[in-house]
Each structure stands twice: as C-alpha cells, then as structure tokens.
Chain A
Amino acid sequence: MSFSLSTNHDQVVDELIARYPTKMAACIPVLHLCQEQEGWVSPDIIQFVADRLDMSTSQVKGVVTFYTMYHQEKVAPNVVWVCRTLSCDLRGAKTIQEHLERRLGCGVGGTSRDGKVTLLKAECLAACGNAPMIQLNDEFHEHLDIAKLDRVLDELGVAPMPAELRTAPPVSSPSSAATAADQSEEE
C-alpha cells in the first residue's frame, strides 16, 4: 500500500520546495504534512518523501528517527505531552503526570483505556512561567491544577477517574506521605 498526499497537501509540497535552494530542505515540513494526514510516519511515508524530494530512504529515515515529534508508531487521535522539565516539575508536573496516568489508565508512551489519548512526556515547551502545563494536540494548556486538567480531559470525552483510583489530595510536607483515602478529589 503506497502513500500519497491529498491534492491540497500536494500543492503545499510544491510551495515548500520553492522556498529553498535545495529540494531536500523541504524534508522536515513535508514530513509534518504527511504526519498531519496520516497520524504517524509510516514506512510508506518515508518512501514517498524520499521519492518526492530526491532523497534516499535512509536519509529520510535518519531525519524521522532524529526528531521526537515524528511518531514512528501509530498513536491515538489525541496526543497529550506533559512537560516534565525543571520549571514545570517545581510547580507540580509530576503530580499532573500521575493524575493523567491514573485517569487515562496508561503510563507515558501508552494509550488510554478508551483508545482516545496517547500520553507522552515532553522536554521544556517554553511555557515555564505558566507551569505546570500540557500540550494537547496543537494547543498548550497552562497554569494547570487538577481541576483544570480534569476539565480539559472532560471536554475531550475521557472517562472520569475510576472510583478505586481516587485518592485524597496529597499533603505538602515531604515527610508525611500521601495516603489513599476514601475521599474523592473531585469533592
């Protein structure tokens, strides 16, 4: 099964090529375009880009494997990137990640129980002043807390947290560990 771009997208490729003195320079934006259409970068896409830009497949594959934003495997229709670099971590990114993992029912790199969301960990997304934050598809959601995060997930149609996973809010002192309690955090 070979890959081809939609007519609209294919015109964009010509425009992209015209921007640069070499065809190869369009490689990164063209790969983005293909991924936008297909959801991931399949081996067929690598072949397509190589043919279209007069590159070898190994050159294109080298590019695809170098950059983190190309999905080399199929992902869910929605992708959540949670920033875990220092500024976000100081403001609660680990707590955000843990809440995501519990509610989605998957770890980083996995896909939610309902198949709607793939959860990935990001490095600094230049939103340090608005930490903690996630990127959901194209959009940044900043200044997060648990309630705001839950609203974002609700809008996406993600099922609420399973009752057995609901825990009490953690205490702030590092010396006394958060313990699971019957209280729901949504209360």
Chain B
Amino acid sequence: MADRDPILSDRFGTEESWTLPVAERLGAYKQARSALTGMPPEKVLEEVKAANIRGRGGAGFPAGVKWGFLPKDREVTYLVINADEGEPGTFKDRQIMEKDPHRLIEGCIIAMHAIRAHVTYIYVRCELVTSIRRLEAAIEDARKKGYLGKRPFGVDFEMDVHVHPGAGAYICGEETALLNSLEGKRGEPRLKPPFPAVIGAFGQPTIVNNVETIAAVPDVIDRGGKAWSDISLLPESFRDGGTRLYGVSGHVKNPGVFEAPVGITLRDLIYDLGGGMLHDDRPLKGVIPGGSSTPVIHPDHKVNAPKDDDPMHPWHGMSHLDVPMGVDTMRNIGTMLGTCCAIVMDSSVNMTEAARNLMKFYAHESCGQCTPCREGSGWLVDVLDQIASGKGTRADVDMLVDISNNMMGNTICALADGTAMPMLGFIRKYPEDFYSAVEQGMGENERLDAAVRRSLYAEAAE
C-alpha cells in the first residue's frame, strides 16, 4: 500500500494541534471563510454530494443525499453531531475531537451554511472528558475570533455550536435516541418515519451526522467534491469516496487509528497499518471489520461472484481479507463496513467467548423499549453462559440462531439487528467453537486474554 500524505489527520501530529493558533497556522478555517463568503449554500451541497461521503458513523448513508432530505419550507433547522462514540472497537472520532477539534467546528460552520442552520449541538459521550474540554475551549476561541456568533466571517448569518454531554448509554449513538437525549429525555429511539431531516430535534428538521463525516467537509471544499471522492481506491460505480480513519485493535502489534483512502483491504489494515499479528506463532482467526455490530470475517472464506455482471466479480475467489473495504463491498460479502475500526482475534480466541463478551454488552445496552431486543439479548447471554459453563447442548446453538432470527427486523431501532447479526455471524463462521464448547465446556482457562496475560506482568517481574 503506497504511503500517502494525510488529509483529514494532517494536523494530528503537530504539537498543541488542538489550539486555534496552531490549527489556523496549518490551514484551519480557510475553507469556512471561502464557503461563507464565496459559495452559495446550493454550491456547497453540490460539492458534498459529488464527494460521495458515505456516513462515517456506521450506516454509510451518503451525507449529501441526507442533507437533500430537508423540507424546502422549513423555518428552523438544527445540525447535530453524533459524537457518542461507543461502538465496541471504535475509537476514531475521539482522535478528531482531541487532536483537531477546530476541523470539526469548521465542518460544522460550512454544514450550517449549507443547510441554513443557526445552531449545532455536538453530542459527546460524557466519558470523553478530554474531547469535551478541548471542544469547548475550541468553540470559545472560535467565538472570540468571530468565526461563530452574530456575524461569522462578517456574514450576516448567526451561528453557534454547543457541546451536549451524554450520560452513558450506547443506544444514544442511534440518531433518534440521541435526539431524545438531547431534549433531556431517556435515550429511547423513536419510530421512523418521520426521519430527523423532517422532524428531528425539538420537532424541527435536523441533520444528524457523525464527527468524521463533518470533519471531512472542509477538505471537500478545499479540493472540490469530485477530486476528494476520487481519493477512494474503489471503482467510481460504488459511489464511496474519499479518505477515512481506520482503527485496528486486538491482537496486532501496532493498534491505533490510521488515515487511508476508502478501499484499502483488511489485509492492509491488519498486516501493514496494524503491524501484523501480535504473536508470530498465533495466526489470525477472525476479524470484526467495523465495530462489534458487524459480523465477523473468517480469513479462509472467499468471495463467490462467478458472474461477470456481479459487482463483486473482480474479487471472485479471493479471501474476504482482500476485498477493498467499502460500504457496499462489505455488505456484499455478508458483513458491514460499519465504523471501519477492526477488532483482530488470533488463534487463542474461542469465538464462543468472544460472542459472549459482546452479547453481554448488548444485553446491558438494550434500552428495553422493544421486547424482542430486551428479552432476546438477555436470552442470548443466558444461553451462552450455559454453554460456557459446560452444561449446554447442541440444541442450545440452534436456540441462539432462533432467538437471533426473532430479534431481527422486529424492533424500533437497529440495535436488535446489530446484536443478532454478529451472533449469527459467529455461529455461521465458527460452528466448531460452539459445538466443542457444548461438548467439552470452556473451562476456567478459556479466557480472551490468554495470549497476553503473562506479558502484563512482564515489567513487574523484571
């Protein structure tokens, strides 16, 4: 994979990059100035559409299309930034907020101009204390400079940005739950339609975008939508453009967040950016490609697209690890791109235990509003606990499938699907792990940290 200059993360490495003088010396707010003073809102929207930014929060919906859903005759519009980063395995938005909050604020300014919003709420989970502090300081500095306020950049269109803290609930990353939480309510998702673009925050048309999506907007204005889109390595027909932040965690030598064009492969992410497997004698067993709700990928499984007209045909017969990562390419191999933050698991991992870890998470985080999700996620944990304790039967594995199938599509929001899909993925890809756990139990020592336990004591032992 060729080295490329960073775009979105080009200020991350500079000392004090989160302060206004440093960010501005490195180019911050130039694009906001030129957009507000020289580009009509329609032109900004046109560029964002041409950029083919697929939403970076996980769903992959094109940002420009979403902006286009706002009703024409609206009076008040809100922009809400989803910074409730909490999808297990995902830690990219935090990088932007901690290292370059001004890029996010600049993106908000340009987006507010495009959608004619006067106020942005950045909904940050309250655990990210450094993110909140740096964002609040950055907003204050931007106000003092006149980039926010009554007349940003001298333009007669009032704009302000506020940070709204969460209070610890994964579900508030779901956009309608987030809006309820913003309004001071329990974070229970709303039925859709109406979609937030029509009835969102405080009953008004609202655009909810992910941090990274909005942070990309200044670069889109800088380069032009088409040129930014063309950074992607995917064929143009996929309409999945630009550059993005990839995360990699788990059993790799060099976990972290890296910027690369859309369309690098999981193999690039694990063995190049991630530095390869943590222990050379423990090969890759599976990888969760984009946050815990995306079904696991088995490195031995291959793309099956023999027909010429299949969009996946170019990768026919290749390992799933060698498919370029995009919203549609990953969907076509039975998983999802999600947040593009991979969790890598080596041969020490029993997938029953990995599934049990994640299902406990979902059971804890289900908001309880819909019965299939509230009960189903709890039952999944109970059945997995039974299997782990050595008291399971083969019928219990079928029961996991049955429960999952009864959760999918039967609830208000996608949390149930995001629970059931990875559960089914684990069973489909690694049935032997479940059946051996049923037959032999997992024992006290089937721990997820088996591969690293000793090294945690290394320094103490020296």
Contact = CB atoms under 8 A, between A and B. Distances in A.
Nearest to B185: A63
A68 B255 contact: no
A29 B345 contact: no
Nearest to B447: A94
A93 to B, nearest CB: 7
Contacts of B125: 126
A187 B91 contact: no
Interface stretch (A2-10, A107-115, A141-149, A152-160): A141-149
How large, as a class, is the contact surface on chain A? 35 or more
B237 interface: no
A170 B250 contact: no
A139 B449 contact: no
Contacts of A127: 91, 94
Contacts of B288: 86
Contacts of A116: none
Contact of B454 (A20, A124, A148, A169): A169
B88 A145 contact: no
Given A169-B457, A172-B454, A86 B446 contact: no
A171 interface: yes
Nearest to B365: A123
B448 A86 contact: yes
A95 to B, nearest CB: 5
B107 interface: no
Contacts of B249: 87, 90-91, 128-129, 131
Nearest to A150: B460
B437 to A, nearest CB: 13
A14 interface: no
B13 to A, nearest CB: 16
A122 B364 CA distance: 10
B449 A146 contact: no
B170 A92 contact: no
A171 B457 CA distance: 10
A92 B445 contact: no
B449 A86 contact: no
Contacts of A173: 450
Contact of B93 (A126, A146, A148, A175): A126
B86 A24 contact: no
A129 B461 contact: no
A56 interface: no
B184 A129 contact: no
Interface string A147-187: 11010000000000000000001111111011000000111
A67 B125 CA distance: 11
B453 A85 contact: no
Contacts of A95: 449, 453, 456
- Number of chain B interface residues as a range: 35 or more
Contact of B343 (A25, A128, A145): A128
Contacts of A101: none
A24 B182 CA distance: 9
Given A123-B86, A126-B91, A170 B454 contact: yes
A77 interface: no
Contacts of A94: 447-449
A96 B322 CA distance: 35
B456 A92 contact: yes
A89 B357 contact: yes
A130 B255 contact: yes
Contact of A96 (B345, B367, B456, B458): B456
Contacts of A73: none
Contacts of B459: 145-148
B458 A63 contact: no
Given A92-B456, A138-B129, A145-B456, A124 B186 contact: no
Contacts of B349: 90
A131 B458 contact: no
Nearest to A27: B184
B55 interface: no
Interface string B158-178: 000010111111100000000
B203 to A, nearest CB: 9
Contacts of A125: 127
A169 B183 CA distance: 50
Contacts of A90: 249-251, 343, 345, 349, 448-449, 451-452
A173 B282 CA distance: 12
Contact of B87 (A66, A124, A174): A124
B292 A86 contact: yes
Contact of B167 (A21, A67, A85, A147): A67
B81 to A, nearest CB: 15
B93 A67 contact: no
Nearest to A29: B165
Given A28-B167, A126-B93, A172 B453 contact: yes
A126 B348 contact: no
The 8 closest A-B pairs by CB, nearest first: A27-B184, A67-B167, A169-B457, A69-B168, A128-B249, A68-B168, A24-B184, A87-B249
16 contacts: A22-B183, A59-B185, A63-B186, A67-B169, A68-B167, A70-B168, A85-B358, A90-B449, A90-B451, A91-B250, A92-B455, A122-B127, A146-B459, A169-B453, A170-B457, A177-B444
Given A87-B249, A87-B343, A94-B449, 13 more contacts: A19-B162, A67-B166, A69-B167, A81-B127, A86-B292, A91-B249, A128-B90, A128-B91, A129-B256, A131-B249, A139-B129, A169-B460, A170-B454
